Amino acid sequence: MAIITPKYIAELEPYEGGRPIKEVSRELGIAPEKIVKLASNENPLGLSPKAKHAIDECINEIHRYPDGNGYYLKRAISEKFSIDSEQIILGNGSNDVLELAARTVLSPGDEVIFSKHAFAVYEIVTKSAGGIGLKAKPTDEYGHSLDEFLKLISKKTKLIFIANPNNPTGNLIDKAEILKFLSRVPNHILVVLDEAYDEYLSNDAKSIALSWLAEHKNLLISRSFSKAHGLAGLRIGYGVGDKKVINLMNRVRQPFNVNYIAQAAAIASLKDDEFINKSRLINDQGRTQLEEAFKELRIEFITSYGNFISFNLGDETKAMMYYQHLLENGVIVRPIKNYELPSWLRVSIGLKKENDVFIKYLKSFM
Ligand SMILES: Cc1ncc(COP(=O)(O)O)c(C=O)c1O
């Protein structure tokens, strides 16, 4: 190839998502309606009826550019969480917010810290900005050990990613531990607290990080509409931080990064607490159902606070055999070798009947 690209770009491994239903259908000749996709931590209930209505309502407007500043969506977020609109940045999925954070603060050679089994996008956005990712040693339960993060901080550290709950392990870090950590991190280092799964937490476990922003101006909280809000296909998320940080991030943001429909749907979805509560309830029930099955089958799993569970099949060969068996029977789950967990698979929590199908084919292979 003739074009010249930086070594750190040439060495990047592209993100591998869960396999789409239509792709599996095409490849294995299974009718799409018979396929159960439990591979991308989507909401099995779909989207809020209010969001659907908002989408229908705005469809005739999409020949117009969206509002590049997302005025109404920011206003809805600011009212819901009692924060200033200027503290909010919208993203094309929360992945966009993570990337904007990296592009805002990193110069080639800068260091970024994240946990060994943390969300894959942290490494991608770090490397694509020329940064060097340092992986902190995990806890015994594969979660974040913030003390290990502290050990890795150097003069080159510019950015830290913390996922809470984490994907793919599902661990939750104690609030007091995060707060203590924030007080120890030098305040020129941007700390991104990724809360893509916050809506799935019970009331007492829910994040209170927005209330820490006044004191910790180097904190950026990212949230997603892809999970409990069920808008993964529209690509929308947001970040909340100090006005000055948000202002800098807005300089590298594409002018119309969040589309018209996504903004309308997200505004409506934010107003639908009933849908979010129902989603959390179905997820809690599904989690119990899957945990019981893993216990019965004596399969090791990590207790998860998200809408997915990772489980260990002993070795990589077995994990891939199970993956293939499930796939051939129309159940898509996710191998997590790329998270340095080669003997594990991750299953998203589905509706009861979807979980039943997953459990049936898991059992039939044992
Ligand atoms: C921890 C975590 N953060 C962020 C995201 C990105 O979500 P999105 O870009 O769809 O908002 C995901 C998606 O799986 C995730 O698991």
Q: Which domains does the chain have, with CATH numbers?
A: 18-46+274-364 (3.90.1150.10), 49-270 (3.40.640.10)
Structure tokens at 242: 């100090």
Phi-psi group of 46: left, alpha or beta (phi > 0 → left; psi -120 to 50 → alpha; rest → beta)? left
By most ligand atoms within 8 Å of CB, the mutation choice from 38, 167, 220 for ligand 1 is 167
Q: How far, in Å, is the centroid of ligand 1 from the Cα of 224?
A: 7
Q: Is the dihedral of CA 123, 86, 49, 206 positive or negative?
A: positive
**What is the separation of C-alpha 110 from the centre of its chain, rounded to a whole number of angstroms?**
24
Q: What is the pLDDT of residue 366?
A: 84
Buried b (16+ CB within 10 A) or exposed e, 237-261: bbbbbbeebbebbeeebeeebbbbb
> Cα(91)–Cα(95) distance, rounded to whole angstroms?
7
- The pLDDT tens digits of the residues spanning 269-279 come to 999 999 999 99
Using a 6 Å cutoff on CB, does residue 93 contact ligand 1? Answer: yes
> Cα(323)–Cα(346) distance, rounded to whole angstroms?
10
Q: What is the pLDDT of residue 283?
A: 98
- The pLDDT tens digits of the residues spanning 10-21 come to 988 888 889 999
State the average pLDDT for the chain.
97
- The pLDDT tens digits of the residues spanning 202-252 come to 999 999 999 999 999 999 999 999 999 999 999 999 999 999 999 999 999
**Phi, psi angles (nearest 5°) of residue 312:** -105, 125
- The pLDDT tens digits of the residues spanning 300-323 come to 999 999 999 999 999 999 999 999
Q: Which residues are 159's β-sheet partners? A: 112, 190
Using a 6 Å cutoff on CB, does residue 257 contact ligand 1? Answer: no
Q: How far, in Å, is the centroid of ligand 1 from the Cα of 296?
A: 31
pLDDT bracket for residue 1 (50, 70, 90):
low
Closest ligand 1 atom, CA of 118? 1
- The pLDDT tens digits of the residues spanning 133-154 come to 999 999 999 999 999 999 999 9
Helix (H, G, I), strand (E, B) or coil at 311: strand
Question: Radius of gyration over alpha carbons of the chain, in Å?
Answer: 20
Closest ligand 1 atom, CA of 232? 10
**What is the separation of C-alpha 66 from the centre of its chain, rounded to a whole number of angstroms?**
25
Helix (H, G, I), strand (E, B) or coil at 286: helix
